[in-house]
Homo-oligomer: A and B are copies of this chain.
């Protein structure tokens, strides 16, 4: 039977310290998902989940998200082979975000640009405003080759 989620409690203490997992989906039906690498804690990506993708993630142990750009269920790594196996799943105090510690298969890369993490640029304050510096390493795969298979 697929996992379903009860409506969040209106009681703040119950929401914050209870044992019922009652995600607070936003007006678009989504919670924020933060994804780190279980092996060293590196932040890999930030994505979103609806009830369906969250249930599938819990049931299968493989990370599923909701793609806001494609408006579709998204089994991360289905095309690239970089599937994410969930080592641990947590939620936050008010249950509107989840944290996935994952093990990444395939190229050990999560970003669609081919890099290990989506967070490969540092922001700094320059004389003309905030600027970016690429600090996150080289792509681990060639996106043009990997995604052109579709």
Contact = CB atoms under 8 A, between A and B. Distances in A.
Interface of A: 3-5, 16-21, 32, 34, 36, 40-43, 45-46, 58-59, 88-94, 97-99, 111-113, 115, 118-125, 129-136
Among A17, A115, A119: residue with most chain B CB under 10 A: A119
B21 A123 contact: yes
A119 B90 contact: yes
A130 B91 CA distance: 11
A90 B5 CA distance: 34
A3 B130 CA distance: 7
A144 to B, nearest CB: 12
Contacts of A99: 43, 119
